[in-house]
Every structure is written in C-alpha cells, then in structure tokens.
Amino acid sequence: MSASEQRPAATDGGLSKARVVAEAVRLADREGVHGLSMRRLATELGAGAMSLYHYVASRDELLDAMVDVVFDEIELLSDDTDWRSAMRRQAMSARQVLARHPWAISLMESRTTPGPANVRHREAFTACLRKAGFSIVMATHANWLLNSYVYGYALQEASLPFRTADELAEMTDSVYLPQLPADEFPYLHESAVGLAQAGYDPGEEFAFGLELILAALEPLRTSDARGA
Amino acid sequence: MSASEQRPAATDGGLSKARVVAEAVRLADREGVHGLSMRRLATELGAGAMSLYHYVASRDELLDAMVDVVFDEIELLSDDTDWRSAMRRQAMSARQVLARHPWAISLMESRTTPGPANVRHREAFTACLRKAGFSIVMATHANWLLNSYVYGYALQEASLPFRTADELAEMTDSVYLPQLPADEFPYLHESAVGLAQAGYDPGEEFAFGLELILAALEPLRTSDARGA
DNA sequence: TAGTACAGTGTACGACGTACAGTGTACGAA
DNA sequence: TTCGTACACTGTACGTCGTACACTGTACTA
C-alpha cells in the first residue's frame, strides 16, 4: 500500500510526500543516490530522520517515487503534430531530463513497478504511434527501439566527463591520446585525433541517432492516418 | 593505482584479485549489488572481511573490476565477416551477457573510468566500422547508436518481470489488464490484448530493432572497402 | 638463528536503514 | 473549561555496512 494515500497533501509549512520526494531529488542531483541518506534528507528538510517514514514507507519506496517525479518532468507527447515531430520533442526532452538526473537512469533497472507518470508516458507514446498508422506490434517495436535508444544514450552520456566540443578537445589532449597509444589502439587513437580535428560536437550526437531511428521507423507504418 | 599490479595472480588455493572479483560477480548475480557486502563476499571466499582489501582498494574499485569482467564476457568483434554480421553477433552477445548480470548495466552510469576490456571492445568496434568504409565521424555515430540501443534495451529488459511469450500472456491476464482499464488507458489496454492475441514473443524484440538500426547505418558508409 | 616481508585478520568507529516506544499539540465532545 | 483522542513528529537503539589500523603468523633470506 502506497503511503501517498495515507497522508494529505499539506499546503502549509509541514512535510508532505511531495515535499520529501522533491527534496530527495534535489539532494540526489547534488550528491548522487549514494549521498542520499534518510538522516541527511531529514536534516535538509529540518526534520528528524524518522519523520520521513510518515510519508514514505522505506528508502526503496522513496527511490521509486523519485524516479516517477523524474518521469513527470519529461514533456508529455502531444498529438497535435505529425508523429515524427512529436517523438522527436519527447525524446529530446527525456534526454535533457535524464542528463539533469543521471542517478534516475541506473535506478530504473532495479525498480520493477512503473509509477503513474511512467504509465502516462507509455499511454501517450502508444496513442501517438497508433494514430499515425502503426499496427499494435509495430508500435511496440517502435516503443522499444526509441526508448532503448534514449535510455541507453542517457546512460552512456552520464558516464562521460565532457559535454561540449571544447571539453572533448581538452580531454583528448590531456587524457585520451596519452592513454590510447597509436600502436596498441590504432583505431581509437585515430578517432580521437580525427574527432578533435573535425571539431566534433558531442552535443549533436543524440539528434543524429534519433533522426536515423525515426527515419527507419517511417516505413513500418501500415496506413498513413494522421501524421505524415 | 590499481591493486592488480600489487598482488600476484595466485595459482594456489589462496586469494587473488581475479578470484575475489569473480566471486563478487557470482554473488551479485544471486543477490544484486545491494546484497554484495565485503563481509558477505569474504565469508563466501572463506576469508576475513579485511583480507579482501589486499586485492581490492575499496568496494568501489571492486565494482569497477566487476563491470570490466562482465565486459570481458561479451564476445569480441571479429573482423572475418561483413560488418553487419559482426555487429549483430557482438550486440546479441552483449545483450545476453547483460541479461545475465543486470546489475552491471546500472553500475555503468557511476563508473567514469572504463576498464581494459571496455577499451578493447571499443577498439574492435571502431576497427570493424572503419574497415567497412565508415568515416571517423560516421563510425562514431554508429558506435553511439548501437551501444545506446544495446544498453538501453538491456536496461529496460532488466526491469521486466517476463522473458517469454507465455510469461507475458500470464502477466497480461493477471496484472496488466486489471491495472490498465480500457477507459483510462485505451491504447495500452488495446496493446496488451493485441500482443497477447498475436502471441508476441518478447525474446524476438531485440533482434528486430537491431536489424532496423543496422539497415539504417548501411547508407552511412562512404566507401565499401571490405564488409559489403 | 635473527630479520624481514607480507598474506591475512580482529577490533573498532562512524554512518546507514529502520523498529519501536514514545512525545507534544490540535481539536471535538462533555 | 476539561478531558479524550488522533496523529504529526521524534529519540533511542539494533544490526549491518565500509574500512582504518594495529596486529598475527608463516616463509624465506642473510
């Protein structure tokens, strides 16, 4: 039984599940999930550690709720444009949000029960594809493919120490090239040099793969009801 | 400084870094990363907890090493076939391995320094694509796209409670349909019904998306030196 | 035989999640 | 006005965690 139905929303200065979870998200953003302890979180909220358990059954349930809050930050698919624009917007938003909350990505694996925001997104996703003329099975394929790309990309991005072309260039000189001698790793070495020379911008990478996938999905539509 | 260079390989009955890490992987497979404690691992190895620190600098370093052991289980790309077959084999193997060690996926996010097996794979990957006629930038795109798909797929798969068509059918009846009323989630409801009726096999899903991606990458090749 | 190196350990410390037995305040009933 | 009750909130305590540190014993060299 979820604790959200046991406690009111609390508009005054007191605690509430929403307040606890929101602060937990902020804390995790700053310090990672590892740094998020019940005691620490309680202090941040100006409360005793055990007070939190009035709003959250356990640390595990808190993590579930945090993941769902993150899902809720992702822009919901609107169906007032063609499916490709809608999917693109949603994917871009998801990537942005997951970059803000990298801890959420790795939390997904261990949480088996999807929260309400998660389900809402899946419904909107499926709705959009079905309306665009994808069959049930093809819509499922598209769902897996796109979500895999978005989550996988976010996961890889989270473990990268650079964001911009400049940062990459700096890392290339100071770390990659010294660690990737041309005789042992000729291709990685060549790549590191080539990318730096070409002014490769890692910020554009996501969009490239996304467009490729969207284009590849296009032929899977069986009718073209709405969304061409 | 890595502990691997400080301690010998130990062929006799004693401990060794390899032995410690291997047992840690086994333990994590059984109980998850959360269940993997230094004391528990030591007991499993018939040693005192503090003995482990002769082979591993910290729990964190142990986790790094475990992730790299998992990478090492993935089949290394061979370049004796066309690039698509090679990529397919590698991706299939990666997905299999990650399904065996789901904890490794979420660990990737927090580990910023890739281990030797990881680098070896990236080198082989890049080599294969370059030899197949991809430019440096296009090979990078392909690398991101494919890896994102594989990791993202594994991540999603890890949080699913079913593996086969039968298990899905059972879950559909007992969990999904009751929780997805047709009036609130019409499209998810329709999907659940439709997939069960069509005998949809989740085990085939990975290959579908993979083929789509491989086909989409084909036109990015600038020459067709080796690998058509 | 003494010295030394080093694999392996026991104890202890601070931090963790959380069970449990409280406390205080607010408010309706008398 | 007084009492009863409900409930938001908390302090203490327990078992477990990672690991610093000082220690053991054994094996091998001088």
B197-227: string of b/e by CB count within 10 Å (b at 16+)? eeebebeebbebbbebbbebbeebbeeeeeb
Q: What is the CA B44 to C1' C11 distance in angstroms? A: 21
Distance of CA A118 to the CA centre of its chain: 11
B43, B37, B90, B87: which is closest to B217 by C-alpha? B87
CB contact under 8 A, A106 and B108: yes
Q: Decide if A45 contacts A25 (C-beta within 8 A).
A: no
Question: Distance from A14 to chain B by nearest Cα, in Å?
Answer: 33
Q: Å from B47 (CA) to C6 (C1')? A: 17
Which pLDDT belongs to residue A151?
Answer: 97
Quickly tell me which residue has 């499922």 as its tokens. A140
Out of A6-20, A94-108, A172-186, pick the least confident: A6-20
Mean pLDDT (whole number) for A26-55: 97
The mean pLDDT value for B98-114 works out to 90
Looking at the predicted structure, is the pLDDT value of residue A69 above 70? yes
pLDDT at res. B80: 86
CA distance B76 to B89: 9
In chain B, what residues touch A148 (CB-CB under 8 Å)?
148-150, 152-153, 155-156, 209
Determine the residue type at A150. Answer: V
Q: Is the CA virtual torsion B6, B10, B13, B15 positive or negative? A: positive
Is residue B148 predicted with pLDDT exceeding 50?
yes
Which of the four pLDDT bands, split at 50, 70 and 90, describes residue B130? very high
Q: Is the pLDDT assigned to residue A9 strictly greater than 60?
A: no
Its ipTM equals 0.93
Share of chain A above pLDDT 90, in %: 85
Q: In this model, does residue B218 exceed pLDDT 90?
A: yes
Averaged pLDDT for residues B60-80: 95
The candidate with the shortest Cα–Cα distance to A157, out of B126, B148, B99, is B148
Q: How far apart are CA A61 and CA A84, in angstroms?
A: 35
Q: What percent of chain B has pLDDT over 90?
A: 86
Q: Which of A127, A198, A216 is nearest residue B212 as measured by Cβ atoms? A: A216
pLDDT band at A15 (very low <50, low <70, confident <90, very high): confident
CA-to-CA distance for B125 and A132, rounded, in angstroms? 36
Percent of chain B at pLDDT above 70?
92
* pLDDT surpasses 80 at B141: yes
Mean model confidence pLDDT for chain A? 92
* Chain A, nearest residue to B120 by Cα: A185
* Chain A residues whose beta carbon lies within 8 Å of the beta carbon of residue B145: 149, 208-209, 212-213
Q: Is A137 close to B194, i.e. CB distance below 8 A?
A: yes
Distance between the alpha carbon (CA) of A27 and the C1' atom of D12, Å: 26
Residue B3 pLDDT exceeds 90:
no
Q: Which nucleotides of D are covered by protein (CB under 7 A)?
A: 8-12, 16-22
Q: Kindly write down the DSSP assignment for every residue of A137-152, as one continuous string.
A: HHHHHHHHHHHHHHHH
Least confident of A81-90, B7-16, B87-96: B7-16
Residue A76 has pLDDT above 90, yes or no: yes
User: Which stretch of A134-138, B157-161, B211-215 has the lowest confidence by average pLDDT?
Assistant: B157-161
Q: How far is the CA of A6 from the C1' of C27 (A)?
A: 20
Q: What is the mean pLDDT of residues B142-159?
A: 97
Which nucleotide is at minimal CA–C1' distance from A14? D8
pLDDT value of residue B4: 37
- Residue ranges and CATH numbers for the domains of chain B are 3-57 (1.10.10.60), 72-164+201-220 (1.10.357.10)
Q: Tokens in use for B92? A: 């299939």
The per-residue pLDDT for A2 is 37
Q: What is the pLDDT of residue A111?
A: 83
- Nearest nt (C1') from A13 Cα: D8
Name chain B contacts of A209, Cβ cutoff 8 Å. 141, 144-145, 148
What's the pLDDT at B13? 60
Average of per-residue pLDDT across B52-72: 97
Of the listed ranges A145-154, A155-164, B94-103, the one predicted with least confidence: A155-164
Residue A203, min C-alpha distance to chain B (Å)? 12
Average pLDDT over residues A13-38: 94
- At A101-145, the pLDDT tens digits run 999 999 987 788 899 999 999 999 999 999 999 999 999 999 999
Nucleotides in chain C near protein beta carbons (<7 Å): 7-11, 15-21
Between the CA of A25 and the C1' of D11, what is the distance in angstroms? 26
Using DSSP's 3-state secondary structure scheme, residue A184 falls into: coil
Q: How many CB atoms lie within 10 A of CB A107?
A: 20
For chain A, give the percent of residues with pLDDT over 70: 92
Determine, for residues B112 and A161 on separate chains, whether the beta-carbon distance falls below 8 Å.
yes
Strand C contacts (Cβ < 7 A) comprise A 36-40, 49-50, 53, 58-60; B 7-8, 14-15, 42, 47-51, 53-54
